[in-house]
């Protein structure tokens, strides 16, 4: 009997060997991805399908080991590749080779107004992610700058949907050419950190489509981002990570997104909604791992065992599951199983150069007036050769900024402080640099186990520190105050909004005291947000320098000493007071919300769209999405307008000429230095049939000119430049009628106006 059984088994084996074996198409890298996806899906068991749609560790999800399909490793971005953490914890893994180059914050990138810089940024950070074997870079962020109190604004690209949409596309392309996916975040309306896990954003459809969605749409349709991250907040009463209208109707239905929707870490809260409403990959859910005696907490995720049980009980089918698995497999085939990706590089000379170049091009010269009343008076900047004693004042001159601020915190290989960069460059000029503290702010320097190693303790009183700074200022040829915000809680940091619009730690008083002590004063602010400037009239020079990563000090010194001609332009409007921002004119209901409900009462009028109403005498009343909006014109003009940025050279612009749908303007460098200028095109409807902003940015070009050089800038007018969103018809409508085409170098620096009719 035993031998008979063996013979039967042998015969069966022979028969099986004789049967045709289905080719493993999913492993054929030359086959179309959709065929590979379907083949792999058909081979997976139910348990394997469930496994691949949720995490297996803090930053990874499993593949299908049986089929040789690798998993996905994510890394926080978007300013650098985060240090390795332990499998189940946020604590450091203790690696010694996981440092990175810290690139400038995305506010700085947006301030370059240069798509070439965006492509370089994406290519460079993508190479670092690839070297570290990461498949998904969690970034970039493109949420709109609604309030200057939002602690996470430094991770985003400003207030304007067109600027953000234009700058995000090459970043995505640069990253993904390495076979690394971008995960554009946070979709959508993540405009505040205060109450971010529970707040419900109530916004009109017009504002949603015209202001808050365009950058995401461009990321999907033009950038072809392979993944997108949901937000923590609710929209229309439903959490963004499993919001049917947002993820199914808009993202998939209207935009045709074929990538994977990834939850923010801990952003999932309901299995049924997660099943039906478009989420593909769940990360960071907070489970104790003890429910039902399970030892693996990841099995208790909303899209894990709870989902499996619903399928096994017949409560739900597998159609949604198969769709999720398809999206995850597509992501895997584009990244970890992409045969065309290289090996990447980490902390290379090319990345160091890129970080320095991007930072230098994003630094904004806000003000640079001559000092004194003589005709020969010169501006403070660039620092002249005869300035042999330079005083640097301020904590931000020495404080490391790459550590802290939330998930963008980095373990940078190095960080050149402003003081170090200035000292290195001053030595070349034969100048002496002295440093005094001036103020004590945040002395911390640790985030999730990464420490700066700095000891910033100083027990002197503010009066003592000010007295020292003032005395030193009187003896210096030039004073550089370097202050602003930092990455501490309630400043520029994830999880917290700012508590005040003013600069913290008594900096306003210190700046005023320094201005009285020495007229050759340049104020340099490191921040990702706007701030009050009660001292502005006292200060001849003002520089907005952002959080600029590893090469902060070198890039800043390049600009201060004139080795790099500043060409950054503001990606947001700086108003005099907090109440000058429209989101802060309607009480707590508009910000930060009442009973976790936030009403976007300013509607379309965000940033310069609101500032442009200055001077109008009447309240703007109109209806949108069934609600009535009343927009009070601002009482004050901006301190610095959207798009503002100065140079060490001068430019002239010709009158724009229109030939059909082609607008031409010539720009000339009339100064003595090579420089770059941003030519901005705004479209202004004259008699709109619905409420519309006074003007809107619709195109821009950054041009580089040698002294005396002239260049023609050409803008092709397209129908989309004249459209608004009709919420009732749920479609984009081209507004017929008369327009003004406004060309300038900032929202308040229009230099040529041309009439245009759209019939």
Residues shown for the chain: 759
Is 441 within 8 Å of 505 (Cβ atoms)?
yes
Burial of 601 (0-12, 13-18, 19+ CB in 10 A): buried
Cβ neighbours for 622, distance < 8 A, ≥ 6 positions apart: 628, 629, 690, 691
DSSP state string for 235-268: ETTEEGGG-IIIIIIIIIIIT---SEEE--TT--
Integer angstrom CA distances of residue 251 from 219, 240, 257, 601: 11, 12, 6, 25
Buried b (16+ CB within 10 A) or exposed e, 738-751: ebbbbbbbbbbebb
Within a 10 A sphere around the Cβ of 620, how many other Cβ atoms?
15
Q: Where are the beta strands (DSSP E) in 313-397?
A: 364-368, 389-393
| CA dihedral sign of residues 55, 61, 64, 65 | negative
Which of 639, 663, 666 is CA-nearest to residue 651? 666
Q: Which of 7, 53, 567, 64 is nearest to 337 (CA)?
A: 64
617: left (phi over 0), alpha (psi -120 to 50) or beta: alpha
Helices (H) and strands (E) in the chain, counts: 17, 30
143 three-class SS: coil
Among 403, 407, 395, residue whose Cα is nearest residue 504: 395
* CB burial readout 488-510, b (16+ within 10 A) else e: bbbbbbbebbbeebebbbbbbeb
| HSE-CB for 3 with a 13 A CA cutoff | 0
Structure tokens at 59: 């930053």
Q: In whole angstroms, give the CA distance from residue 64 to residue 584.
A: 50
Q: Is 237 exposed, middle or buried (0-12, 13-18, 19+ CB in 10 A)?
A: exposed
Taking a C-beta distance cutoff of 8 angstroms, is the pair 270, 233 a contact? no
CA distances from 648 to 422, 520, 669, 707 (A): 19, 17, 11, 11
Of 481, 225, 191, 446, the closest CA to residue 330 belongs to: 225
Judged by DSSP in three states, 501 sits in coil
3-class DSSP assignment, residue 655: coil
264 is catalytic: yes
- The active-site residue, picked from 98, 160, 264, 612, is 264
CA 265 from chain centre, in angstroms, equals 18
For residue 276 the two structure tokens come to 């039906």
- Phi, psi values for residue 184, rounded to 5°: -65, 135
**Residues taking part in catalysis:** 264
């Amino acid at each position: 009997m035993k031998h008979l059984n063996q013979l039967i088994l042998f015969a069966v084996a022979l028969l099986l060997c004789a049967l045709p074996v289905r080719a493993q198409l999913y492993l054929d890298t030359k086959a179309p991805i959709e065929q590979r996806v379907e083949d792999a899906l058909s081979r997976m068991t139910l348990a394997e399908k469930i496994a691949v749609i949720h995490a297996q560790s803090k930053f990874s999800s499993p593949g299908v080991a049986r089929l040789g399909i690798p998993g996905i490793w994510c890394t926080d971005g978007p300013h650098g590749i985060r240090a390795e953490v332990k499998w189940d914890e946020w604590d450091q893994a203790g690696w010694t080779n996981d440092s990175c180059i810290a690139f400038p914050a995305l506010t700085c990138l947006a301030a370059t107004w240069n798509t070439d810089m965006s492509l370089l940024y994406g290519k460079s950070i993508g190479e670092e992610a690839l070297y570290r074997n990461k498949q998904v870079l969690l970034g970039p962020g493109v949420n709109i700058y609604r309030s200057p109190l939002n602690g996470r604004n430094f991770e985003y690209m400003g207030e304007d949907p067109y600027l953000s949409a234009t700058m995000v596309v090459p970043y995505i392309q640069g990253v993904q050419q390495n076979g690394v996916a971008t995960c554009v975040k946070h979709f959508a309306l993540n405009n505040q950190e205060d109450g971010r896990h529970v707040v419900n954003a109530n916004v009109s459809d017009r504002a949603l489509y015209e202001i808050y969605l365009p950058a995401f749409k461009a990321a999907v349709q033009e950038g072809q981002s392979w993944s997108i991250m949901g937000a923590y907040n609710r929209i229309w009463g439903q959490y963004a990570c499993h919001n049917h209208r947002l993820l199914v109707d808009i993202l998939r239905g209207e935009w045709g997104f074929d990538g994977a929707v990834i939850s923010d870490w801990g952003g999932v809260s309901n299995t049924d909604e997660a099943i039906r409403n478009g989420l593909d990959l769940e990360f960071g859910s907070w489970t104790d791992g003890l429910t039902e005696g399970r030892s693996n907490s990841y099995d208790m995720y909303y899209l894990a065992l709870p989902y499996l049980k619903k399928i096994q009980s017949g409560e739900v089918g597998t159609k949604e599951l198969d769709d999720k698995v398809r999206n995850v497999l597509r992501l895997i085939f584009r990244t970890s199983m992409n045969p065309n990706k290289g090996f990447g590089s980490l902390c290379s000379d090319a990345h160091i150069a890129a970080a320095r170049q991007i930072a230098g091009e994003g630094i904004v010269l806000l003000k640079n007036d001559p000092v004194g009343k003589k005709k020969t008076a010169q501006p403070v900047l660039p620092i002249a050769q005869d300035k042999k004693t330079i005083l640097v004042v301020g904590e931000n001159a020495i404080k490391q900024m790459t550590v802290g601020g939330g998930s963008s915190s980095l373990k940078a290989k190095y960080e050149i402080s402003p003081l170090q960069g200035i000292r290195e460059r001053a030595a070349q000029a034969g100048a002496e640099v002295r440093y005094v503290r001036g103020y004590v702010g945040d002395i911390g320097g640790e985030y999730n186990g990464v420490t700066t190693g700095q000891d910033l303790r100083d027990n002197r009183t503010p009066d003592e520190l000010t007295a020292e700074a003032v005395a030193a200022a009187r003896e210096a040829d030039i004073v550089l105050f370097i202050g602003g915000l930092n990455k501490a809680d309630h400043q520029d940091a994830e999880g917290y909004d700012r508590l005040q619009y003013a600069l913290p730690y008594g900096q306003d008083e210190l700046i005023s005291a320094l201005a009285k002590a020495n007229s050759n004063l340049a104020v340099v602010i490191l921040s990702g947000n706007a701030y009050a400037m009660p001292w502005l009239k006292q200060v001849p020079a003002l520089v907005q320098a952002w959080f600029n990563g590893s090469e902060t000090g070198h890039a800043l010194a390049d600009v201060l000493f004139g080795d790099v001609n500043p060409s950054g332009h503001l990606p947001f409007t700086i108003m005099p007071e907090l109440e000058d921002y429209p989101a802060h004119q309607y009480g707590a209901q508009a910000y930060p919300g009442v009973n976790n409900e936030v009403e976007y009462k300013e509607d379309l009028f965000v940033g310069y769209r609101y500032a442009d109403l200055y001077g109008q005498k009447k309240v703007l009343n109109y209806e949108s999405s069934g609600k009535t909006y009343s927009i009070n014109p601002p009482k004050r003009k901006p301190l610095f307008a959207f798009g503002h940025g100065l140079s060490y050279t001068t430019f002239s612009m010709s009158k724009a000429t229109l030939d059909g749908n082609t607008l031409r303007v010539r720009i000339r460098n009339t100064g003595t230095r090579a420089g770059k200028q941003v030519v901005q095109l705004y479209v202004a409807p004259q008699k709109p049939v619905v409420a519309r902003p006074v003007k809107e940015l619709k195109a821009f070009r950054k041009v580089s000119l040698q002294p005396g050089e002239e260049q023609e800038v050409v803008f092709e007018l397209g129908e989309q430049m004249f459209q608004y969103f009709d919420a009732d018809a749920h479609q984009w409508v081209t507004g017929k009628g008369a327009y003004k085409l406004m060309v300038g170098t900032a929202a308040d620096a229009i230099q040529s106006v041309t009439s245009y009719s759209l019939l």
